[in-house]
Amino acid sequence: MPVVIKLKCRFRKHWKLRIHDLEEREPPHITIYGEGDKWRWNLRKKCFMDKKPPYNGVHKEIVDEIEDRWIELSYEWNQIHADNPVEINEIDLKEFFKSKKWDVEEELQKYNDLLKKNK
């Protein structure tokens, strides 16, 4: 099942972010759903992947939130697709864990074990 990531911005009622679990070796990405369309956002390149539909249909506020939450989104991708991970700086990852009030060393160990297991 896809992971649904709720937006925090004012468009959260009608727009959704998803990470699909059945991706076949595609570049790491999230899918943005809204206004009857969908767009893919490349987590490695931090840009839209497709020319159609035109990405100017995605509100800037949504793109800003995706950029602000890049570590969280990449972490979520890596939890599902550890065989095709997005590289996340360890310092940034630790800050993310702290912001969630998680045990930083324990979470980092679990995360690194997951990635090693799936190499």
Predicted pLDDT of residue 113: 97
Whether pLDDT at 3 is above 90: yes
Query: pLDDT, tens digit, for every residue of 12-60?
Result: 999 999 999 988 789 999 999 999 999 999 999 999 999 898 889 999 9
Predicted pLDDT of residue 106: 97
Predicted pLDDT of residue 32: 97
Q: Are 41 and 32 in contact (CB under 8 A)?
A: yes
User: How do the domains of the chain map onto residue ranges?
Assistant: 3-117
Average pLDDT over residues 61-75: 98
Whether pLDDT at 84 is above 80: yes
Whether pLDDT at 4 is above 90: yes
Strand ranges for the chain from DSSP E: 3-5, 15-19, 29-34, 37-42, 47-48
DSSP reduced 3-state for 81: coil
Where residue 90 falls among pLDDT bands split at 50, 70, 90?
Answer: very high
Predicted pLDDT of residue 25: 83
Predicted pLDDT of residue 27: 96
Predicted pLDDT of residue 102: 97
Q: Which two tokens stand for residue 45?
A: 């390149």
